[in-house]
Amino acid sequence: MSVLTPAEAPSRWRQLAIWLAFIGLDTGTQLAFKWGADGLGDTDFGLAMLTRSMELPGVWLAVVGYLGTFVVWMAILRDMPLSRAFPMTGLVYITVPLFAWAAFGERIDLLRAVGIALIIAGVVLLGGENENEQP
């Protein structure tokens, strides 16, 4: 781990803010899709489902969330190699189940909890800083 120079510190805070925005937007988008899907009830897959989904606020919120996630993802990729950035998107595999548990009462059993722990380990290993890597 290297010590940040005063010039590098704002850049690190900016990167952290962008990553928090990405994780928040992507997590919110998935939760909005679930909210929208719950509003479909027993509607069969097809035109009726598509028509009904266009009436649901959760679906529209998810579409806006995807657009926001796209913008933030472009900002991330502008400053970071894809090979480092993409594994870090795995953090959403942690936040989505946790917020789905809180918002929808979904279960996180032992197997899922172990999977989440492994994802955290993978993100740490793959997303760590490499001094020799160029953006």
pLDDT digits (tens, 9 = 90+) for 39-79: 998 888 999 889 999 999 999 999 999 999 999 999 999 98
Give, in order, the Cα–Cα distances in Å from 127 to each of 8, 20, 52, 63, 87: 19, 15, 40, 28, 6
SS3 label, residue 4? coil
Instruction: Give the per-residue pLDDT at 5.
Output: 57
Average pLDDT, the chain: 87
**Nearest of 22, 23, 27, 59 to residue 43 by alpha carbon:** 59
> Where are the alpha helices (H) located in 39-109, listed in sequence order?
47-53, 57-79, 82-88, 92-104
| pLDDT value, residue 15 | 87
Please compute the mean of the pLDDT values over residues 107-133 and round it to a whole number.
80
pTM: 0.80
5-29: pLDDT as tens digits: 555 566 888 888 999 999 999 999 9
Q: Which amino acid belongs to residue 124? A: V
Distance between CA atoms of residues 107 and 101, nearest Å? 6
| Separation CA 23–CA 41 (nearest Å) | 28
CA 59 – CA 119 distance, rounded (Å): 28
* Secondary structure letter of residue 90 according to DSSP: G
pLDDT reported for residue 131: 47
> Among 22, 38, 31, which Cα is nearest to 98's?
31
Show the DSSP H helices in 9-56 as ranges: 9-38, 47-53
pLDDT confidence of residue 120:
85
CA quadruple 16, 21, 26, 32: dihedral sign: positive
Please report the pLDDT score of residue 41 as a whole number.
Answer: 87
Kindly report, residue by residue over 78-103, the tens digit of the pLDDT.
988 998 888 888 889 889 999 999 99
